Amino acid sequence: MRKNSKFPHTRYSLLIQTTLIVLVLLISLLLAPVQAQSVNHAPVVVDGRLVFRVSSNEQSKAQERANFISSQLQAVVKSDEAPDIKIEQRNNSPIIVVNGRYLLTVTQNDTDSAATPEEQARSWVQQIENAIQKARSERGAEFIRNTSILSVVIVLMAIALHRLLGIVWQITQNRLSQMLVSADSSSDNQIQNTSRFLFKATLLLARIGLWVGVVLYITNLFPLTRNLSYNIAIRIFSSLTSPIFSLGQKSYSLTNILILIILLLGLIILAGTATNLLRSRLLSRMRISRGAQEAIAIICKYAFISFGTIVLLQIWGLDLSSLTIVASALGVGIGFGFQDIAKNFGSGIVLLFERPIQVGDFIEVGEYMGTVEHIGARSVVIRTLDRISIIVPNSRFLETEVINWSHHNPVSRIHLPVGVAYGSDVNLVKTALVDAATHHSEVLKLPKPQVFFKEFGDSSLNFELLVWIDKPHQQSPIKSDIYFLIEASLRKHKIEVPFPQRDLNMRTGDLPIKLSPELEQALLRLTKEFHGNGKSVK
């Protein structure tokens, strides 16, 4: 039952990690077109709606041309004059003129590969006429009234959908919680808490996405708000795509950095998922120790992240040779400010390869004694006998003495000192101690328990019982159990455990004690006063 109870939790964890990887990849794919978008073309817009795109020419850049054309068309829309759009030929190039004013010159760079400048000019004239006509119609009172009514209806529908999402999410959560119920109560509680958190998070994201979509849709209905939102989007886009620093011969924008961070995050999540699969599906079936499994898994994880990072940086176009200066500065910073972190990281690598301690070993370092639960890049987690996690820096295991009770062989010997009263039969004491040790199930039969006569103590004959065990993490309860058995065995053989004895020798000098004349006079006066008071009382 217990094995089956862990299965839903493992499957649920893998599902969460797979979902995170998919989300990271989707975000990267969504941001990739923004990154790949060419800066040689700029959009011409009227009331925030795209009309066409123009390229740069010898006189001005693409964005400058687009801004000039957009401002001219916006002025035509606001004027009461009917638009008169013509195509003229100047210097063997078609020129579009609106109401007698120059708008733009159509060049070969503005056209598609299969079109001529004249054909592109005629197509743009038609698009300009449609854009101006539509922009003027959207400024009418009837359009504004109908659009306002539509906006109110959309908001009411969004409110209803907002509440419906909560109901659907609650029903789905209850059904999934019933499916994930297991026999293990602790695992079940963890699954329930995780599922509730994920459902609340996804519900919040769904509602936020709903209202963001509603706001964007309503904003796009009105010309003024559409133009305002478009300008805000353009500013955000330019901020994300503008270069902020250069490495070598290439400049990098905030979008570049964001996509690279997302890809690295996906690499880390993918490395963690692959490591968990390697540990649970492959290494657990091999006949190797738990410590070796953990060491192999951690080394594979760090190697996967390291090589994956290098590959991602190369694919993304980052020249690693340009990072030499940054690496040098980082090395100096590590030497001065992060020397402890670097020391612990280096110590962690030594621990993984040299393996003086492994996951599952029972160790004693300083005042701490417990089982090694995890060996990380910076620290080691020890679970004490009181079930308390102690986090110890890696460097401490290389700088100080560490007692590893499980190193290569978990069999170890424990010492149990025992004192008996003088006059006891020492052979009978030995028999009683060995008899107590052999009756404990955790004491190994081979090597056999031994009894040593240590010394003649101040008040007892001191013996030491030596027994062998193969579970060093249980030595404290085993010692306690054996002492219980020793007490019962000594009582059975009528062997006394003495109390501490001390002999007190007192030396006396000359009596009576000689007093000084002044002290004798004082004592006489006190005696007379005492007797006088006694008589008066009578």
Question: 471-509: per-residue pLDDT in tens?
Answer: 888 888 999 999 999 999 999 998 988 877 666 666 655
Find the angle CA(474)-CA(480)-CA(486) to the nearest 5 degrees.
Answer: 130
pLDDT tens per residue across span 208-260? 989 988 998 898 888 888 888 888 877 777 777 777 777 666 777 777 787 78
* pLDDT (mean) for 21-36: 53
CB 227, CB 204: distance < 8 Å? no
Pairing of strands 461-469, 450-456: antiparallel
Give residue for tokens 């209803």: 160
Given a cut of 70, whether residue 323 has pLDDT beyond it is no
Tokens of 200: 């609340």
- Same CATH topology for 342-404 and 412-492? no
Give the CATH number of domain 342-404: 2.30.30.60
CB 490, CB 432: distance < 8 Å? yes
How confident is residue 461, by pLDDT bands cut at 50, 70 and 90? very high
Q: How many other CB atoms are there within 10 angstroms of residue 375's CB atom?
A: 22
CB 66, CB 57: distance < 8 Å? no
* Radius of gyration of the chain from its Cα atoms, rounded to whole angstroms: 44
Given a cut of 70, whether residue 172 has pLDDT beyond it is yes
CB 366, CB 412: distance < 8 Å? no
Neighbour order of strands in the sheet with 362-365 = 389-393, 379-384, 368-375, 362-365, 402-404
- Give the span between the Cα atoms of 209 and 225, in whole angstroms: 20
* pLDDT (mean) for 75-90: 85
C-alpha 475 chain-centroid distance: 35
Q: How many residues does the chain have?
A: 538
Where do the domains of the chain lie? 2-26+250-337, 41-137, 141-221, 342-404, 412-492
CB 517, CB 525: distance < 8 Å? no
Distances (CA, A) of 360 to 162, 370, 468, 475, 478: 50, 9, 20, 15, 19
pLDDT tens per residue across span 384-405? 888 888 899 888 888 888 888 8
The pLDDT score that the predictor gives to residue 512 is: 58
Tell which residue, 388, 407, 402, 385, has the closest CA to residue 475: 385
Give the CATH number of domain 412-492: 3.30.70.100
318 Cβ neighbours under 8 A, 6+ residues apart: 247, 250, 260
The DSSP annotation for 343-363 comes to HHHHHHHHHHHH-SS-TT-EE
Give residue for tokens 């176009």: 317
Given a cut of 50, whether residue 103 has pLDDT beyond it is yes
Q: Please list, residue by residue across 342-372, b when 16 or more beta carbons sit within 10 angstroms of its beta carbon and e when fewer do.
A: ebbbebbeebbeebebbbbbbbebeeebbbb
Q: What is the dihedral of CA 166, 172, 177, 179, to 10 degrees?
A: 180
C-alpha 415 chain-centroid distance: 44
Tell which residue, 126, 83, 127, 78, has the closest CA to residue 101: 83
The pLDDT score that the predictor gives to residue 430 is: 92
| Residues of the chain above pLDDT 90, percent | 14
| pTM higher than the cut 0.75 | no
CB 131, CB 119: distance < 8 Å? no
How confident is residue 418, by pLDDT bands cut at 50, 70 and 90? very high
